[in-house]
Structure 1
Amino acid sequence: MDFHKLLLDVDNALGEDEFKALGFLCADFLSRNPDSVRSLKELFSSLMDKELLSEKQPQLLAELLLTIQKPRLLRDIGLSEQDCAAPSLISSYRKLLYDLSDNITDRDLDSMKFMLNNLIPRGKLKEKSTPLDIMLEMEHLDLISESNLDKLEEIFNHICPALNKKITQYKEKQAHRLRSLSFPSESNLISKPFLRTGSLQSPVTIKDDVLESKANLKNKTVVVPEPPRAAEALGKYQMTAANRGFCVIFNNNNFSNSLEPLKDRAGTHTDEDSLKKVFEWLNFEVEIYRDCEKEKMLSVLKDLRGRDHSQMDCLVCCVLSHGLEGSVYGVDGQTVKIEEMMALFDGKKCPTLVEKPKLFFIQACQGTREQRAAQTDGIETEDKDICSDARVPDTIPSRADFLLGMATVPSYVSYRDKKSGTWYIQSLCRNLIQMVPQEVDLISILTQVNADVSKMSADKWGQTKQMPQPAFSLRKRVVFPIPKTPPPELKTF
């Protein structure tokens, strides 16, 4: 049978409620916005455009029909349970929410709306809202997520306690799955409370067995071992949108009018050029803002927060500036707290980015201490090519789906070459170029960045060092799709 004819038969056999159910189950494939498709035909077309459904790959269709309990229709169109993929293409979290909604009575639904009256806008709690509509809105407002079902449990305790057994079983399965994983480590999977990875409370001592120059780093070929198969069970954030997302770059160089005695950041335009090339290659829409004062930086981010990200996969923000602990400098010498920047994009303030990765890369110091084992933007001298972006307390993303990539650990400086840019940003860009085509996840790429930067030194004796630090509350792996165009060429010096 012609596959399009088969899909048309499915469309004719299902009603409006089944369409909404399939849209909800496919929300992860639709940038968390099932309303972006208005019919079952549009849903199937979208899945085929994303190469998730085809005549040779009918697994998703089979799984969808079985999930909504349509085994007879599955047989009628010539498919069977054996056509379902292993592992499942639909997340166990989304199946759980569907199962819960299917067991909520009209009376339970009215009680559920009443309990959410102060948390969800009344317009979203209209009379015709279904349990799936309510749960989807709770997701958009970051009231529930794959790793946090507390609010739902609290509601069910009052209106239908029996449903909490399903949530308990789901949690037990998730806990068992996480315990069985060997990659990444469990310390990086904790989301509530969130613990910073790689926390260092004392001066860093880096064992300097091998000193590697920047020239070697530029010409190096990274050999990436195949990750353990268990890593696949973690799941990946959806990266199927036509536009990956916005990438905003703040490049603060000219501090001549600063209230603080901060020097211009020679070499920063090399970082800007590298970031622009790499993230455009990764299919991001790059926007660059140069020499921004504090209020301008916040204004740009607030404008970014207010945009519609529903048809995008994630968000990237890069800041190139001087830094103070927990903050970065505007060119006016006033500081912007990193936590304040990130807080603008939590679930309640930016609902179209809920459950999507929000990636922040900060090239600025976190203090003025030098790591021993290159000089800082706070104590720069004119006769050195290597200088630092000195001066950022212990900054940790406290919300779900954030990553904060810092150029250095708390209390320490980071280094910038006046011609070839900063160690951290240049290593980040080169490793993205090397490892994205190998389908390596972002945390592994940042681990390689740590290894590269730790081998560099700001003095000929190899005693002045730098150690970057990623911190994150990601719940899945960030794996960028392999770009269809050749990788960009970065400047070499």
Structure 2
Amino acid sequence: MELPRLRLLVVGEELDEAELAALKFLSLEHVPMRRLEAIQKAQDFFEALQEKGMMEAGSLAFLKDLVNCAKGCAWQHDEMVSCTSFSRYLLFQLSEDITEDELKSFKFLLGKELPKCRLNPKTTMLDVFIEMEKKGILGEDNLSMLKSLCAEINIVLLKRIEEYELNLFGKTKQTKKGHARWLASSVAPDSPGSWNESSQLEAYKMTSRPRGVCLILNNHNFAKAREAVPEPKKLKDRHGTDVDAVALRRVFGKLHFTIAEYRDLTAEEIRKIVNIYRCEDHKDKDCFVCCVLSHGKKGIVYGVDGQEVPIQELTTSFTGQNCHSLAGKPKVFFVQACQGDACQKGVTIETDSGEQDSSVETDARFQLDCIPAEADFLLGMATLQDYVSYRSRRQGTWYIQALCQHLEYSCPRGEDILTILTAVNQEVSRKSCEPNAEKQMPQPSFTLRKKLIFPVN
């Protein structure tokens, strides 16, 4: 048996079902869809490529390019591969990043557009894209339907497509080399060193595994507080907060943090948990993150018993004096709560993409000046002082959801936390709460001395 055919045999035996499906999808511009749909084995796929002259004279270069695309490393060099188009590679990368829950959302929203028999539990995201192409609602120059779906399901996916369009159709024409580099940067994380080499500002060390603890204090059920607090100050249950907690666990897990979530804590229990992590040895960790999801008012957060915990008490627990092993390391706090009762009006009203959730609530209030004067702290607040912040019963809070989406999108690209929080500001400020079009503007404050970058590798 000649060498190329022997190599094909070996490659075919190593391909699993998902990898073969990826190769078939990436080669759709060269092999007819009807031909590919009938293929179930790798050897049949190779024969189809040979029939179309894609592997002539024993050359496996085309197949090698396909395999590199499927593994996400096709654009790591300046040379441009020709096995597939930019748009098809973009779709493939999107399919790799879409979660199971997001896939279910795509299937649900496409229920009227695509045959139900094609949207069964075994249907993959690549299958969905293929069915959309068959229906003529998806193509290289026809991404409007896909963009609308992504706007409803995950704004980060929409931003990926918009960035692709900007690079492809923007006023500044890019060479194929330049576009290839963009594709690589959009799907592969930058090495931490690449930022330090090009940036004048030093970055915090972020190489430990795990990076540190991500402490989530998630208060949902305030029945105890309602029993103790007279009208009209009774605190409602915070429906939708578990959606935020899930998002935080997912994102900071990907960023290599150890997740520690505690639910429905009284004020005293909040203090005890914080004290446990204050006394913990963080010497082998590079960072500490604390996410507080609760009701509150000016300068405090509530336990589920309606008792108050000063925000400053939480943050100052982790100063260098009180937690020696975190001295000189970044301490990050994200707090989802209002800071007052006022509703912010927008000058120009902009609505969210898609239908507004009518069940939007506000959290109670709290104040901004809770960050220690000591260095290396970051406090991310959901809204400006004196104003409310909004929480959807179904989709979580505006702030935490935007924060998680932008962390998930921007951290693999090597962006620092302040750049990410600026994007979160922009995202949340565009939302409005009907019927009076109230707005919300988050506000970070910090005493960071260096760039804070969370590498995914």
| TM-score, normalised with respect to structure 2 | 0.54
Separation in 1, partners of 2:152, 2:314: 32
**Structure 2 residue aligned with 1:429:** 404
1:393 Cα deviation after fit:
3.1
C-alpha distance in 2, partners of 1:313/1:323? 30
Encode CA deviations 1:22-65: one digit per residue, 9 max, x unaligned: xxxxxxxxxxxxxxxxxxxxxxxxxxxxxxxxxxxxxxxxxxxx
SS at 1:273 equivalent: helix
Residues in 1 aligned to 2:337 and 2:306: alpha-carbon distance in whole angstroms: 14
Cα distance in 2, alignment partners of residues 323 and 366 from structure 1: 8
Task: State the 1:460 CA deviation.
Answer: 5.1
1:221 equivalent to 2:221? Answer no
Say if 1:298 and 1:231 are closer, same or farther in 2 by CA, change over 3 A.
farther
How far apart, CA to CA, are the structure 2 residues paired with 1:321 and 1:393?
14
Give yes or no for the alignment of 1:450 onto 2:425: yes
User: Following the alignment from structure 2 to structure 1, what is the Cα–Cα distance between the partners of residues 272 and 455?
Assistant: 31
- 1:474: which partner in 2? 448
Aligned to 1:284: 257
Q: Is the 8 A contact 2:311 2:370 kept in 1?
A: no
**Matched-pair contact (CA < 8 Å) for 1:245–1:285:** yes
Give me the whole-angstrom Cα distance separating, in 2, the residues matched to 1:409 and 1:229.
33
Residue aligned with 1:250, SS: strand
Q: Counterpart of 1:246 in structure 2: which amino acid?
A: V
Q: Secondary structure, in 3 states, of the residue corresponding to 1:475? A: coil
* Aligned residue runs from structure 1 range 15-26, under 5 A: none
Distance 1:423 1:432 in 2: 14
Question: Are 1:309 and 2:268 counterparts?
Answer: no
Three-state SS of the structure 1 residue aligned to 2:199 is helix
Alignment of 1:253-402 (within 5 A): 253-258=220-225, 259-260=228-229, 261-373=234-346, 384-397=358-371, 398-402=373-377
Verify: 1:243 aligned to 2:243, yes or no: no
Cα gap change, 1:393 to 1:312, in 2 (>3 Å): same
**Partner residue, 1:10:** none
Contact kept? 1:368, 1:390, Cα under 8 Å? yes
Other structure's SS at 2:445 match: strand
| TM-aligned CA deviation for residue 230 of structure 1 | 10
Distance 1:436 1:370, change over 3 A: same
Match of 1:439 in 2: 414
* Equivalent-residue separation in structure 2 for 1:213 and 1:253 (angstroms): 28
Q: Report the residue type matching 1:290 in the other structure.
A: R
Separation (CA, whole Å) in 2 of partners of 1:395 and 1:361:
14
User: Hey, what's the Cα distance between the residues in 1 that align with 2:197 and 2:208?
Assistant: 26
* Partner residue, 2:439: 465
Question: What SS is found at the alignment partner of 1:234?
Answer: coil
Please give the per-residue CA displacement for 1:146-173, whole angstroms capped at 9, x wherever unaligned.
Answer: xxxxxxxxxxxxxxxxxxxxxxxxxxxx
1:235/1:477 contact within 8 Å kept: yes
d(CA) in 2 for partners of 1:297, 1:446: 26
Cα distance change on mapping 1:470 and 1:294 into 2, 3 Å: same
**1:137-216 matches, cutoff 5 A:** none
Aligned residue for 1:453, secondary structure, equals: helix
Whole-angstrom distance in 1 between the partners of 2:410 and 2:156: 14
CA distance in 2, matches of 1:350, 1:233: 30
- Partners of 1:283 and 1:407 in 2: how far apart? 24
- Tell whether 2:354 aligns with 1:416: no
1:220 shift after superposition: 2.4
- What is the distance in 1 between the residues matched to 2:332 and 2:294? 17
Checking the alignment, whether the CA contact within 8 Å between 2:223 and 2:237 is kept in structure 1 is yes
In structure 1, how many angstroms separate the alpha carbons of the residues matched to 2:370 and 2:404? 23
Secondary structure, aligned partner of 1:233: coil
1:234 is aligned to 201
* Letter aligned with residue 340 of structure 2: G
Deviation at 1:394, TM superposition (A): 3.2
- Secondary structure of 1:419's counterpart equals coil
TM-score by length of 1: 0.50
Write the deviation string for residues 369-424 of structure 1: whole angstroms up to 9, x where unpaired: 11111xxxxxxxxx951111122133242211000001011111100010010000
Aligned length: 262
For the 8 Å contact 2:214–2:258, the answer to whether it is kept is: yes
Contact 1:294 1:332 in 2 (8 A): yes
* Equivalent residue number for residue 156 of structure 1: none
Give the superposition deviation at 1:217.
3.2
For residues 198 and 309 of structure 2, the distance between their equivalents in structure 1, rounded to whole angstroms, comes to 36
**Aligned counterparts of 2:221 and 2:251: Cα–Cα separation in 1:** 24
CA–CA separation in structure 2 for the residues paired with 1:273 and 1:458: 23
Indicate if the aligned counterparts of 2:151 and 2:158 stay in contact, CA closer than 8 A.
Answer: no
> Secondary structure, in 3 states, of the residue corresponding to 1:318?
strand
Cα gap change, 1:250/1:216 in structure 2, threshold over 3 Å: closer, same or farther? closer
Once the 2 structures are TM-superposed, how far is the Cα of residue 481 of structure 1 from its aligned partner? 1.2
User: Distance between the aligned counterparts of 2:318 and 2:432, measured in 1?
Assistant: 36
Aligned to 2:33: none
The CA distance in 2 between the partners of 1:411 and 1:417, in whole Å, is: 20
Q: Distance in 1 between matches of 2:245 and 2:321?
A: 31
Deviation at 1:325, TM superposition (A): 1.1
Whether contact under 8 Å (1:326, 1:394) holds in the other structure is yes
Q: CA deviation at 1:327?
A: 1.2
| C-alpha separation in 2, matches of 1:325 and 1:304 | 25
> CA 1:371–1:295 in structure 2 vs 1: closer, same or farther (change >3 Å)?
same
Counterpart amino acid of 2:418? I
Q: Which amino acid aligns with 2:281?
A: D
Q: Considering only aligned residues, what root-mean-square deviation do their CA atoms show, in Å?
A: 2.5
**Secondary structure class of the residue paired with 1:243:** coil
Aligned structure 1 segments of 4 or more residues deviating by more than 6 angstroms: 224-231
Q: State the distance in 2 between where 1:474 and 1:301 align.
A: 22
> Which runs of 5 or more residues in structure 1 are unaligned?
1-211, 374-382, 484-493
Gaps of 5+ in 2: 1-149, 167-181, 186-193, 347-356
Partner of 1:49: none
User: Which whole-Å CA distance do the structure 1 matches of 2:202 and 2:359 have between them?
Assistant: 43
